[in-house]
Structure 1
Amino acid sequence: MSFPIAVRDMRLGDVDRVSEIRVRGWQTAYRGLLPDSHLDALSVAEDAEQRRAFFARGGPAVVNLVAERGDAVVGWAAHGPYRDGEVRTTDAELYAIYVDPGHLGRGVGHALLQESVRRAGALGHSRMYLWVLKGNVAARRFYERAGFGADGAEEAFEVDGVAAPEVRYRGDLPSVPRSG
């Protein structure tokens, strides 16, 4: 039996599972794009410690969402104001989206992206940007199927001396009438 996907706000108790999803996601999605030594050295415990501290600081700017199937957290996404360097703009940015590798291709990422788009639109943002590794063909196809497209901007990114350039994608958000 397949459970439906439910997307909700992340809670402090989700941190360990989100860190596991994020680290395993990096190790799966970026294998062959980033050095194996870097990917193999990633630590779920260290990521959880950093994430717990960040989560404790709180703040309304970053929206952290998790996707559940049954009682299991199977995906995580985070979005907020677009960062142009350290300058915030009126646009939104999808900072991250990761799915448990065992749940890839089952609609989890799509559900998280749809909810991030919906929420950003409801806050009055007209555009959402995201950065993706240029060589991550699967992720690029995922975003393109969702209506995002590369806008020509590229940024140098390097990990342990290996170049892994990123390309920026842009999607127009639906305007959501505000109630009240």
Structure 2
Amino acid sequence: MTTRDQARRAATELSALLAAERGAGLAWQQRMWQITACLCADASDDEALRTARARFEAVYPGLRDFRLSPRADPSAHERLATLTARLHDLLHMPPITLRRARAADAARVAEIWHTGWRDGHLGNVPDELVAARTPESFRERAAARVPDTTVAEVGGVVAGFVMVVADEVEQVYLDAAFRGGGVAGVLLTEAERLVAAHGHGAAWLAVAPGNARARRFYERSGWKDDGDFAYVATGITVPCRRYVKQLDR
């Protein structure tokens, strides 16, 4: 899901929350409708986000101070603050830029890869594989895999990367600080494009069964669970689930 898609969702949810209020709530809801319309317009992502950001900034001081009625459930007040802050952050996020990795990116890729791999795999893969995945192993692999790697930059910082080999989306990792901003969706979409550009009609990837967050992400992105799959990594057999997605070429 792109930053624009996530901003549209946040604006829609905020509009619905404000619509539950009588009186002044309708005026705020109409303002959110206008922001949502900007995000739905037939325009580039950058243009749509820029226009929506300008509209949001025009009402943000008042919206930030807006309070639900005293009779509202306390959780509604918290949700109002959370959604307002999230919409603000999404609309002000720097653009996401994709490019082919360079040798100088290897250290940053290794850092993201090591941290992300442990986050998704500890407790979900054999202990011998965990022992083999040392920080040095990620540095060596990142340097060797530069030709297969595409990185995503946000504000000039490498926020994540994807590695594609033939029809396999081999690695997709994101710095935790950039989660929720649409970077992962942009990377996965680019991986699908690369697989199709290589002449394949479908892409596949392997994911640890216990990596629930990754599995939800792939499923939301249109990937299908194709069943059990034995993935061999560093000579170690790792029980996985195989996910596939049919592609337009």
Q: What SS does the corresponding residue of 1:27 show, helix, strand or coil?
A: helix
Please state if 1:151 is matched with 2:242.
Answer: no
| 8 Å contact kept, 1:134–1:167 | yes
Pairwise CA distance, 1:40: 8.4
| 8 Å contact kept, 2:116–2:175 | yes
Q: What SS does the corresponding residue of 2:106 show, helix, strand or coil?
A: helix
Instruction: Identify the structure with the greater strand proportion.
Output: 1
Please state if 1:48 is matched with 2:48.
Answer: no
Please state if 1:74 is matched with 2:148.
Answer: no
Aligned residues: 157
Counterparts of 1:39 and 1:105 in 2: how far apart (Å)? 27
Pairwise CA distance, 1:35: 7.1
Instruction: Identify the structure with the greater helix proportion.
Output: 2
User: What pairs with 1:10-159 in structure 2 (closer than 5 Å)?
Assistant: 10-34=101-125, 42-55=133-146, 63-81=148-166, 92-155=167-230
Counterparts of 1:93 and 1:4 in 2: how far apart (Å)? 27
| 8 Å contact kept, 2:225–2:242 | yes
| 8 Å contact kept, 1:134–1:164 | no
| Residue aligning to 1:170 | 244
Counterparts of 1:51 and 1:156 in 2: how far apart (Å)? 20
| 8 Å contact kept, 1:135–1:164 | no
CA radius of gyration, larger in: 2
Report the TM-score, using the length of structure 1 for normalisation: 0.75
Q: What SS does the corresponding residue of 2:142 show, helix, strand or coil?
A: helix
CA spacing shift, 1:157–1:40, aligned 2, 3 Å: closer
Unaligned runs of 5+ in 2: 1-91
Counterparts of 2:233 and 2:199 in 1: how far apart (Å)? 34
Pairwise CA distance, 1:80: 1.5
CA spacing shift, 1:12–1:128, aligned 2, 3 Å: same
CA RMSD of aligned residues (A): 2.6
| 8 Å contact kept, 2:97–2:153 | yes
Hey, which bits of structure 1, 4+ residues long, moved more than 3 A?
A: 34-46, 156-159
Q: What SS does the corresponding residue of 1:165 show, helix, strand or coil?
A: strand
CA spacing shift, 1:46–1:132, aligned 2, 3 Å: closer
| 8 Å contact kept, 2:152–2:159 | yes
Provide, for residues 98-148 of structure 1, a one-character-per-residue CA deviation record: whole Å limited to 9, x for no partner: 001111222111110101111221222101010000111111111111111
Pairwise CA distance, 1:53: 4.0
| 8 Å contact kept, 2:228–2:239 | no
**Which structure has more RCO (C-alpha within 8 Å, separation ≥ 6)?**
1
Counterparts of 1:71 and 1:130 in 2: how far apart (Å)? 28
Counterparts of 1:41 and 1:80 in 2: how far apart (Å)? 22
| 8 Å contact kept, 1:154–1:165 | yes
One-letter amino acid of the structure 1 residue matched with residue 151 of structure 2: V
Counterparts of 1:47 and 1:34 in 2: how far apart (Å)? 17
